[in-house]
Amino acid sequence: MQKSALPLSDANANKKREELRRKETLVKLLRWHFGYPDFRDMQLDAIQAVLSGKDCFCLMPTGGGKSMCYQIPALAKAGIVLVVCPLIALMENQVMALKEKGIAAEFLSSTKTTDAKVKIHEDLDSGKPSTRLLYVTPELITTPGFMTKLTKIYTRGLLNLIAIDEAHCISSWGHDFRPSYRKLSSLRSHLPDVPILALTATAVPKVQKDVVESLQMQNPLMLKSSFNRPNIYYEVRYKDLLDDAYADLSNTLKSLGDVCAIVYCLERSMCDDLSTNLSQNGISCAAYHAGLNNKMRTSVLDDWISSKIKVVVATVAFGLWSSFRMGIDRKDVRIVCHFNIPKSMEAFYQESGRAGRDQLPSRSLLYYGVDDRKRMEFILRKSVSKKSQSSSSQEESSKMSLIAFNLMVEYCEGSGCRRKRVLESFGEQVTASLCGKTCDGCRHPNLVARYLEDLTTACALRQKNGSSRVFMTSSTDAINGEQLSEFWNQDEEASGSEEDISDSDGNGNEVVNNLTRSKLQSKLGVSEKLAMLQRAEENFYRNNNAYKQSNKVDKNAISDPMRGSSRQRLQNALKQVQQRLDNFKIEMETSASFLEEECYKKYGKVGKSFYYSQVASTVRWLTTASSSELINRLSAINASTSMNVLSEAENLLIPANQPLTPAEQPLTSPPALDPYARDTSNEHSGTARSETSACVLPMEGSFSTNLPQIPSFSEFVNSRKAKGDQLHDTKRHSSRVEKKMRIQ
Ligand SMILES: Nc1ncnc2c1ncn2[C@@H]1O[C@H](COP(=O)(O)OP(=O)(O)OP(=O)(O)O)[C@@H](O)[C@H]1O
Ligand SMILES: [Mg+2]
């Protein structure tokens, strides 16, 4: 006998009704807790999959709302959702936001006090935990102590879901590989029935496969949204065609008004330098890099999130787990600038993806320089040759990084739609019409084509002129390991980052021990770092002499506009000094020229980076030196420059046909002795003429100046240390104004 169709369709209808009811419940949760009217894109699919016990791989664009895919399940079912997160700052950020909404979320990390940890553990052990979301680092999860705890929760049937955020970190093919993520593969064997949700915004097919296999995901629902971020306008500017990239950036930020922004740099020195420059131009700004201690970094992050500062200039580096790179959810970032070319399209996408998470129009602006490109190539090649001495798979992954970098170069050096290039690098085939003129390539194709032509011409011309190092290539070729570390301290960046991510197994005693240990290590680290920087500096001085002797470098590498802008920066710093010194008389222009000339004399032949760095050092010195040091130095400059004016005026009285005496012959080559030289003997009194630059030469015999030196890096550090000790010993009271300047 045939079965009636009626009960079956009834069953179908019931199933549909049930599905609808469940969906409505989930939407109600979303509205109630987060105030959003509806789910975005594939959020609901991911949520329903994991609630039904299925594994799910979720690839959604940056800012797409991936967090919601595990936050809603945590509210829909009693029990705990475990979230694995790569950064402590990121966990703090999310937990704080959830707590503000009245959602019971906690995180376990070494930054928590023992008391706070004990409370969380008591709750987890209670059999009826109130915690709904528990955020942990991958390091903690794989410790035996914590795994035992998880197993206990699991056997009580209270572990509902394991969410792995930034899951691309698991793959060594990915751009942010983190070895501790690899160990998460043990989760499946320890906790076999708990659904796993892997979330990422940046995974090419190879990485996706690696993630699924490593986590031993079972027939996961693969959800992949488009990578497209339609609200971001993409643009590239060419440093080599700009007079002053600093000024360009500053003007761009100013033109946008008081908006929230992130600027990414390659090196710490540039990060500090750029941040100082932007601040001097009235932009509310701070630097963020691994050279700052934890407290400073947290304070910058907090100030930025709470809008106390608008612009953060952050470094990006291999293995630097900067909070400004991934996950941090500040919605209204209106512009993300890359001041140096990123190492890959994934990194670029991740970083530029910090913009416009509120879906409102935003911008990605990349400053491309041929120097930067060559420097990055050098760094990547260097890491290839280093790694090729280890294993062949590492070698392969390093070679891949060079290939990945080439895509980034094509993004900058190619014409046409930039958006299309971004999407194609993730394997997404689109037509340029998708862009709708929201990139410079589509909106101003002729202009971009002209820029590229100019860039090619400029490069060809320089090469034709036989300039040995128009760009950074030859200078980077000449950089040895130690010098490289001064520019680009990968190990140091990585160790700095450890402070953000390290963790224990959550046991109170161990936390205390670890804290003490890590404090000792970081203490040791600082002196080691200083020793290393001093070595690098000494090395530089040695090599600088070699440079001078071989005389191979191009004298024109630092352009006049560049020098002009340095003079302007110094002048701005001098204005601050003048205010600080109660309007002490300073010849602004001449003093700025004098100081710039000193920087140029010292590093002009070596290259832009060293020169910039010395200008930054001088600015730093101007803002941190004591009043007496400043007055001594500036009086001496004033005196020597005014004597020079006098000498020029007197020269005018010499009849044109009268031969100059040897002492009056203009100097044709730079003075032999470097005014910044590390020898601190009082060299200026008797031989002042040969030791100062031609343009500020005081008249022999008529005036003898004694110019206090601007210290080199190590002298600066040591003198500050000595001053600190002295202050500590004598508890001497320093003036309020001076203190304020030092804090800056
Ligand atoms: N359905 C929704 N409607 C409106 N806004 C939402 C929705 N879901 C999430 N959001 C908001 O979108 C913003 C970005 O979400 P989230 O931080 O989860 O992004 P993400 O996908 O994790 O990005 P990233 O890859 O950069 O970490 C958050 O402010 C979040 O509250
Ligand atoms: Mg996220």
Q: What is the dihedral of CA 401, 403, 407, 408, to 10 degrees?
A: 40
pLDDT of 436 reads 93
Q: In the structure encoding, which two tokens stand for residue 444, read together?
A: 């101003």
Query: 66 alpha carbon to ligand 1 midpoint, in Å?
Result: 6
Which ligand sits closest to the CA of 69? Answer: 1
Q: Which of ligand 1's atoms lies nearest the C-alpha of 67? A: 18
Q: In the structure encoding, which two tokens stand for residue 407, read together?
A: 């895509």
Mutate to test the pocket of ligand 1, among 26, 62, 67 (most ligand atoms within 8 A of CB): 67
Q: What is residue 204's three-state secondary structure?
A: coil
Q: In the structure encoding, which two tokens stand for residue 456, read together?
A: 């090619």
Helix (H) or strand (E) holding 107: strand 105-107
Instruction: Quote the CA–CA distance of 498 and 500 in Å, as a whole number.
Output: 5
**How far is CA 423 from each of CA 223, 226, 268, 401, rounded to the nearest angstrom?**
17, 8, 30, 18
User: 260: which residues sit within 8 A by CB, 6+ positions away?
Assistant: 304, 307, 310, 311, 330, 332, 333, 334
pLDDT in tens, 300-318: 888 888 889 999 999 875 4
Measured by CA distance, the residue closest to atom 12 of ligand 1 is: 65
Mutate to test the pocket of ligand 1, among 85, 231, 329 (most ligand atoms within 8 A of CB): 329
pLDDT of 504 reads 31
Which residues line the pocket of ligand 1, CB cutoff 6 A? 36, 39-40, 43, 60, 62-68, 201, 327, 329, 331, 353, 357
Residues of the chain short of pLDDT 70, as ranges, are 1-8, 174-175, 317-329, 383-398, 463-557, 606, 609, 640-744
Domains belonging to the chain, first-starting first, are 15-224 (3.40.50.300), 232-467 (3.40.50.300), 560-638 (no CATH)
CB 121 within 8 A of CB 113: no
pLDDT of 397 reads 62
Instruction: Quote the CA–CA distance of 609 and 468 in Å, as a whole number.
Output: 16
pLDDT of 538 reads 43
pLDDT of 659 reads 34
CB atoms closer than 10 angstroms to residue 414: 16
**How far is CA 35 from each of CA 30, 31, 44, 63, 725, rounded to the nearest angstrom?**
6, 4, 16, 17, 54
pLDDT of 390 reads 55
Helix (H) or strand (E) holding 630: helix 627-652
Q: Which of ligand 1's atoms lies nearest the C-alpha of 94? A: 17
pLDDT of 639 reads 72
Measured by CA distance, the residue closest to atom 3 of ligand 1 is: 36
**ipTM of this model?**
0.99
Measured by CA distance, the residue closest to atom 5 of ligand 1 is: 36
The answer, as to whether pTM is greater than 0.80, is no
pLDDT of 136 reads 95
